[in-house]
């Protein structure tokens, strides 16, 4: 016996889960994802989401409602007669009519150790806060924001230099295995649910453009965590005068350095070390606007940043 599953997801993170459920032999009766967005070189093409493309490659029907306000969309969902909906980074808050629109409800794969980091950006926020571990949780969804009871937990410990992109990729695989395991237990009637604790609640707000600029007046460990939490996207950045023009430079990797100096002062060009409010940070990988990512060594070959330069 297999489950009739509606899969709901949008970004790259969701794709391994969809593919793993299909490999496990479940019947994916439909895939829901965000509508195509403007893209291409001039932003004129309607680009389908990664989940949309993966679903089409698997020969699965795809639906892309803007929301579920229309009765036709709600009725179409109910008419699928699914056993369960699996939701992984879908990007829409689901109304109660969808949450209760399958026989067994909706189960969400969330990339944190709930109730810590409920919300939109749990991977980035965990790193930016200096956490040393996170995880994947499968929970049964309710009307709240990531507040439902937990069915399965897998912890992931990560190193002090790991970026959000690297942690994202590690959690992708954990997410796929966790959801396959959870669905097997659900099918067998052996998936107990545990309410989330009332203590330790933190919200992972969406990353805003205003917080991406690097503030070198903060302690070095906070600057480092800020950089790696935003790498590779959207990218933490500073401004540097290059050939008489102030340009934005993203930092895609860093580590803690040694030394003291004025805030934002370049203490050494090789390795590229910047003084912070306390301590120093070493910049490892950089990218100029419109350029490609480069190691600090390659970046400095074309753009010298001598000791004594002040970054802002």
Compute the distance between CA of residue 310 and CA of residue 312 in angstroms, rounded to an integer. 7
113 assigned binding-site residue: yes
Please state whether the peptide bond connecting residue 115 to the residue before it is cis, i.e. omega within 30 degrees of 0.
Answer: yes
The pair phi, psi for residue 54, each rounded to 5°, is: -65, -40
Q: Where are the beta strands (DSSP E) in 158-291?
A: 203-204, 236-242, 245-257, 266-268, 273-275, 280-288
Residue 13 CA from chain centroid, whole number: 7
186 assigned binding-site residue: no
Radius of gyration over alpha carbons of the chain, in Å? Answer: 22
The pair phi, psi for residue 102, each rounded to 5°, is: -125, 165
Other beta carbons within 10 Å of 246: 9
114 assigned binding-site residue: yes
CA distances from 312 to 62, 235, 309 (A): 46, 15, 10
Residue 81 CA from chain centroid, whole number: 31
For 130, the 3-state DSSP assignment is coil
Please state the length of the chain: 312
Q: What sign does the dihedral 210-133-287-169 (CA atoms) show?
A: negative
Q: What sign does the dihedral 147-95-125-213 (CA atoms) show?
A: negative
Please choose, from the candidates 17, 93, 25, 81, the residue with its C-alpha nearest in 3D space to the C-alpha of residue 55. 17
Other beta carbons within 10 Å of 23: 11
Residues annotated as binding site? Answer: 112-115
Residues annotated as binding site for (6S)-5,6,7,8-tetrahydrofolate? Answer: 112-115
């Amino acid at each position: 016996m297999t489950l009739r599953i509606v899969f709901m997801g949008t970004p790259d993170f969701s794709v391994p889960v969809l593919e793993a459920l299909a490999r496990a032999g479940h019947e994916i009766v439909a895939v829901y994802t965000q509508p195509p967005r403007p893209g291409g070189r001039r932003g004129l093409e309607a680009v389908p989401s990664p989940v949309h493309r993966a679903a089409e490659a698997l020969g699965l029907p795809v639906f892309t409602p803007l929301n579920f306000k229309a009765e036709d969309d709600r009725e179409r969902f109910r008419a699928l007669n699914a056993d369960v909906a699996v939701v992984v980074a879908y990007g829409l808050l689901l109304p109660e009519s969808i949450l209760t629109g399958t026989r067994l409800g909706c189960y969400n794969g969330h990339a944190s150790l709930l109730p810590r980091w409920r919300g939109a950006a749990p991977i980035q926020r965990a790193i930016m806060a200096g956490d040393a571990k996170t995880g994947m949780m499968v929970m049964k969804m309710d009307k709240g924001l990531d507040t439902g009871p937990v069915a399965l937990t897998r912890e992931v410990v990560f190193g002090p230099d790991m970026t959000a992109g690297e942690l994202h990729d590690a959690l992708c695989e954990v997410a796929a295995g966790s959801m396959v395991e959870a669905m097997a237990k659900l099918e067998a009637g052996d998936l107990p649910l545990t309410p989330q604790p009332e203590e330790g609640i933190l919200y992972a707000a969406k990353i805003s453009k205003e917080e991406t600029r690097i503030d070198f007046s903060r302690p070095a460990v906070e600057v480092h965590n800020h950089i790696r939490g935003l790498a590779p996207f959207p990218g933490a950045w500073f401004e540097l005068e290059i050939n008489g023009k102030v340009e934005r430079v993203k930092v895609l990797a860093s580590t803690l350095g040694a030394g003291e100096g004025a805030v934002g002062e370049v203490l050494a060009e090789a390795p590229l070390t910047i003084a912070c409010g306390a301590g120093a940070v070493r910049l490892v990988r950089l990218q100029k606007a419109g350029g490609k990512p480069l190691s600090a060594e390659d970046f400095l070959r074309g753009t010298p940043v001598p000791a004594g330069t002040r970054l802002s």
